[in-house]
Structure 1
Amino acid sequence: MPSDDRPQTFNLFVYGVLAVPAILQRVIGRKGEELTFQDAILPGAEYPGVVDEKGTAELLGQDVGQLSEDDRNTAGTLICGLTAKDIELLDVFEDDEYSRIPKTVLTLGSPKALGDVPAKTLAKRSTVTTGTAEADVYIWTASVSLLEPAIWSLDEFVRSKGAAWIDVNNDMYAQVEAARSLGTADADGLVGKEVAGFPTFGHNMKSYWGFAPNYVNTNHGSYGSPPLAVMEAREKLSRKIDSRADIFMRREFEIQLAEVRAKTAPIVNAEVDEFVFVPNATHGVNTVATNIDWVEGDIIVVYATTYGAVTQTMKHLCDRNPGIRLEVIITKFPCYHSEIVEATEAVLAKYNKPTGNVRGGDAPPTATGLSDKERVRMVVVDGIASVPGVIYPWEDVVSLCHKYGALSLVDAAHSIGQHHVDVKKSDPDFWVTNCHKWLMSHRASAAMYVPFRNQRLIRSSFPTGHFYESERYPTVGGAPHPWKFVEQFGWNGTNDWTQFLSVGDAIDFRKSIGGEDRIIAYNHSLAVAGGKRLSERWGTRVMENDKGELTAAMVNIELPNFPIPADGPGQFKVSHFIENCLLYDYDTFVAPMIHNGTWWARFSAQVWVELSDFDYVADCLDKIKARIERGEHLTAKCECIYCSRTVVA
């Protein structure tokens, strides 16, 4: 009998250039002699794309019933025996506009070994149906407006495009070849620092940014840092807008905004019309929270480390609605994700009846309390917390919300660009993220994901715009505008739209330096290596567990024996002194914090940062500690208007 531990293999239905063996081999980086090719058909989908019948009708502007049977199906090739690594590389090759989705295909003829198939062209196709097979298919999930409105055949496409793709110098392979090189770390434990065809990460990358010459930027996570290319594109667009403001505001901006949404949504596997831009993540959280029709007995759950403005938003809601209240789950790091999940379920099970659901359905969830008096209506959970900068088990918390009928609101302010996210897989009710922090767009720009099932809950943008439609006072006269979710987040007053449109330029820039996988891999490995380096130097610890669950590209490192005053004002004085010394004396910054009775510093890793930057900041912190021990913080003067409180973004 075959061994149960045989490596898993995958079936993939491909159409277009991947049906040519030489191109497939170039992508997966091996000969693939064990692979088999078989002619196949995907019913009910059409080129280009592939798109479904609804998308085809939208693209062509005609009923698909008017198309021939051949035009309503996609001819391609079934490839069997692919490895998990092959699939990973093919995912990179197909890029974010496509999602890999399981489908049933019709097989034609018999399978052939890859070596028996013409290497650089298509073999003559069989016409005999021999059965069906389950296979993954790359389906176009971005806006169909990005496709040419024409139907093409497999043979025509390969004849016109195949030769160019076989060209060894074709730069369309750059992303996948970069991904293939990410498998090993260098001597410092850094992954992706050097990748052929792309700039070397580290100090070399500073030339792509406009930092002051001596500035050591290890706090990118607070406000983001747009590269020069993004800033220049934004400034160019701003000048163009002001040359004819009426044309842009009245005719162009919404088209351009839709194009950028279509470019950004696939990064988190969202559908375009579930994905809108908002000024920042806190704004998105407020948009969701103020649209919900709260009723007496509703409970909102947050965590002890929930971002300050978000917690205050929920307090404000409770102040305005005395019948609802807040419940805080205490979290102390480092801990295991399972501990947070258990604490969350304990609260949900205390108030709510289980629904039996593991995913969201076609309608918003309904929370049913164990008593008639109270029920948890919403859980607000971080994707990655701000301070301390740790990954939360947000996907597991979302699953618990489905189980107990509560709404899930994910504050993913630090997520997009810092770690991989799939909102279709995780299935939150609401998800908001900043694009200016880690995706490198211009500040302030953020995005909000609301699945179709919940869009009727979000009746208005914040502030309300021209395309709000009241059910109580419907519009009379004028142009008709039936309520649509996406349109709420278009025109709602004069705005600087360039900050949102810069997201597209940021995505292009990230691709030009190696793409999402390379950037995320480097930043994570640098955070891990930097944390290890300083914790060993100081004899302290990293805020991490032995499963490595907490660190993405921000790492929290325990500071060595920094004094902790007994009272709040004393702690603030020390914290503010540390900040001022870093900012004004040493031209750098990391976020200092007291958490769980210990001083920590949050470092942000990014493509221009090297391990030597961790060393520099550590040297600065050692000097600051000596100054505190001499009592300098007690007599330090500061005219900052925020000296009454500490704010960390």
Structure 2
Amino acid sequence: MSAKTDLSVPAPAFGHALRPYFHLASECIPTNNGSFGTTPAYVLEQRIKLLHLMEENPDRWFELIVRKKLQESLAQVAPLLNVSAADLAFVNNATSGANAVLRSAPTLLAAKGHSSSVLPNGRKRSLLRLSTVYGGVRPVVQYVADTVGFNVIDVPVEYPISDDDLVGRVEQAILDEQRLGGSVFAASLDAITSVPGVIVPFGRLCALCRKYDVLSVVDGAHAIGQIELDLAATEPDFFFTNLHKWLYVARGAAVLYARKEYQSFIHPTVISFGYANPSFRSEFDYTGTADLTPYLTVPAALEFRRWLGGEQVIRERNHKLCVEAAHKVAEIFATEVLLGLGSDGTAGTGLIANMANIALPVPAGVSDETMLTLRADILQSKQIAGQFYKHAGRWWIRISVEVYNDLDDYVKLAEGIKEWLASKSA
């Protein structure tokens, strides 16, 4: 049972005192917010009000109300990205944003003055992606390559790695392709990768793309709510970020940003009445009858976050606990935390926002099936979740920290995993 949220009184302290303001079951130990997000009870209450308003008079809602409210919501998201609301559109998740941009490759080729994906010398143009690309975006890149006729360049990335080395590898891949008579058309990049859950110097990568006339397509699924964003400074060509993961907006909601010169060349995955409309946002606003109320909970989510102290206060507190929790879990496992290399940018704990990665105390040869069983068993028996994955020849767990977490949550997570592993080796 959630507590009634009264925003006129001071918010409780961060940690378990905030659990009642979410619909978390008492036995749930939520250490994996990065996968699906968590919606405050207050935001859900506001969404229910919107649903009632829609059902009271559907014609009035769709004809007179919803478009205005979409504009109001985008106007509140825009300052968090430092862009104009006119350059944003709603999509239901970041993967939808990736699809909208990448599957618009034929029209984007035309926007760049190319008649096809094939160069005059007969070599295919290339799409570049890092090996750490999100699992849901990787096949989108491949699908576009297969259907439009691109080559795919995979840049191998293994953490720990310095920012300089990462940027250097991408630049070398672009130069290598040029030496072979090819050209990189677009690069699929991340602001924060899913696994490992680390901050990426995407501003430097976007600058590199501009240098070589490569379209930068940035997956910011985990970005808004975790790190400060300034798209006017980093200048990606395209950027999409989930609002339901770290910003408390109801699921599923994300925004897509496109530079003005490309807005008329990208289209939603569902083509409908808005096609060829002068405003690219109009095309995304209406792709058929749907429940758009998650998008409209942006004002409530931001109101709730201001009640907690605002963006910077939330980010700093969650980062501090995340670093502490990661080291505690590593201590219990007798392993280590994944930290950044180098002397600036994502060096050391600069790699960490609200997610951290800890090596698991298991041999590298442990099977995927075993790790899937571990994940399912502790979720079922202890209601604990973590993101298990293999990277650079080792098994890791990604933890996430939110405002309702305390250090004890991560102690229980680590001890639960150790207990399960001990039971299987007995």
TM-score, scaled relative to structure 2:
0.91
Matching residue of 2:352: 551
The one-letter amino acid of 2:329's match is L
Matching residue of 1:530: 325
2:356/2:400 contact within 8 Å kept: yes
SS in 1 for 2:187: strand
1:211 is aligned to 2:11: no
Matching residue of 1:53: none
Measured in 1, the distance between the counterparts of 2:363 and 2:335 equals 15
Measured in 2, the distance between the counterparts of 1:624 and 1:327 equals 40
Deviations 1:220-265 (A, max 9, x none): 1100110000011101110111010100001110001001000111
How far 1:467 sits from its partner (Å)? 1.8
Matching residue of 1:329: 155
Matching residue of 2:182: 374
SS in 1 for 2:245: helix
Deviations 1:446-496 (A, max 9, x none): 0011121221321x2221120212xxxxxxxxxxxx522121111110010
SS in 2 for 1:555: strand
Match of 2:168 among 334, 339, 342: 342
Measured in 1, the distance between the counterparts of 2:385 and 2:182 equals 45
The one-letter amino acid of 1:591's match is Q
1:467 is aligned to 2:274: yes
2:264/2:278 contact within 8 Å kept: no
Matching residue of 2:287: 492
Measured in 1, the distance between the counterparts of 2:12 and 2:144 equals 48
The one-letter amino acid of 1:419's match is I
Q: Over the residues paired in the alignment, what is the CA RMSD in angstroms?
A: 1.6
Match of 2:138 among 311, 314, 318: 311
SS in 1 for 2:351: coil
Deviations 1:119-151 (A, max 9, x none): xxxxxxxxxxxxxxxxxxxxxxxxxxxxxxxxx
Measured in 1, the distance between the counterparts of 2:128 and 2:258 equals 20
Measured in 2, the distance between the counterparts of 1:441 and 1:627 equals 40
Deviations 1:571-601 (A, max 9, x none): 1211111111221111110111121111111
Matching residue of 1:5: none
The one-letter amino acid of 1:530's match is A
Matching residue of 2:5: none
SS in 2 for 1:388: coil
The one-letter amino acid of 1:342's match is G
2:129/2:189 contact within 8 Å kept: yes
Deviations 1:39-98 (A, max 9, x none): xxxxxxxxxxxxxxxxxxxxxxxxxxxxxxxxxxxxxxxxxxxxxxxxxxxxxxxxxxxx
Matching residue of 2:401: 605
How far 1:197 sits from its partner (Å)? 4.4
1:349/1:404 contact within 8 Å kept: no
TM-score, scaled relative to structure 1:
0.60
Matching residue of 2:68: 255
Deviations 1:583-634 (A, max 9, x none): 111111011112111111100010001111111101101111112324xxxx
Measured in 2, the distance between the counterparts of 1:313 and 1:281 equals 12
SS in 2 for 1:433: strand
Alignment of 1:248-647 (within 5 A): 248-293=61-106, 294=109, 295-296=117-118, 297-321=124-148, 323-352=149-178, 373-458=181-266, 460-469=267-276, 482-545=277-340, 547-548=347-348, 549-560=350-361, 562-565=362-365, 571-630=367-426
Match of 1:234 among 38, 44, 47: 47
Deviations 1:135-191 (A, max 9, x none): xxxxxxxxxxxxxxxxxxxxxxxxxxxxxxxxxxxxxxx9xxxxxxxxxxxxxxxxx
How far 1:537 sits from its partner (Å)? 3.2
The one-letter amino acid of 2:387's match is A
How far 1:508 sits from its partner (Å)? 1.1
Deviations 1:264-317 (A, max 9, x none): 111110111011110100000000011122512210111111011211011111
How far 1:505 sits from its partner (Å)? 1.2
How far 1:563 sits from its partner (Å)? 3.2
2:332/2:414 contact within 8 Å kept: no
Matching residue of 2:59: 246
Query: Which ranges of structure 2 fall in alignment gaps of 5 or more residues?
Result: 1-7, 110-116, 119-123, 342-346
SS in 2 for 1:437: coil
Deviations 1:6-38 (A, max 9, x none): xxxxxxxxxxxxxxxxxxxxxxxxxxxxxxxxx
How far 1:199 sits from its partner (Å)? 2.1
How far 1:534 sits from its partner (Å)? 2.1
2:104/2:265 contact within 8 Å kept: yes
How far 1:375 sits from its partner (Å)? 0.4
2:219/2:241 contact within 8 Å kept: yes
SS in 2 for 1:497: coil
Q: Percent identity?
A: 31
Could you say which structure has the higher strand fraction?
1
The one-letter amino acid of 1:238's match is L
SS in 2 for 1:390: coil
Measured in 1, the distance between the counterparts of 2:126 and 2:385 equals 38
Measured in 1, the distance between the counterparts of 2:125 and 2:75 equals 36
Measured in 1, the distance between the counterparts of 2:38 and 2:272 equals 30
The one-letter amino acid of 1:424's match is A
The one-letter amino acid of 2:222's match is H
Larger Rg: 1
Matching residue of 1:168: none
Query: Which ranges of structure 1 fall in alignment gaps of 5 or more residues?
Result: 1-173, 175-195, 353-369, 470-481, 631-649
Measured in 2, the distance between the counterparts of 1:545 and 1:455 equals 36
1:410/1:431 contact within 8 Å kept: yes
How far 1:328 sits from its partner (Å)? 0.5
1:199 is aligned to 2:12: yes
2:192/2:200 contact within 8 Å kept: yes
How far 1:538 sits from its partner (Å)? 2.9
Answer with 211-220 or 460-469: which moved more.
460-469
1:578/1:592 contact within 8 Å kept: no
SS in 2 for 1:216: coil
Measured in 2, the distance between the counterparts of 1:331 and 1:340 equals 7
Measured in 2, the distance between the counterparts of 1:409 and 1:495 equals 27
Relative contact order (C-alpha < 8 Å, sep 6+): which is higher? 2
SS in 1 for 2:244: helix
2:11/2:307 contact within 8 Å kept: yes
SS in 1 for 2:294: helix
The one-letter amino acid of 1:442's match is A
Measured in 2, the distance between the counterparts of 1:409 and 1:273 equals 19
2:305/2:311 contact within 8 Å kept: yes
Could you say which structure has the higher helix fraction?
2
The one-letter amino acid of 1:225's match is T
Q: Runs (4+) of structure 1 moved beyond 3 Å?
A: none
Measured in 1, the distance between the counterparts of 2:326 and 2:207 equals 31
Matching residue of 2:121: none
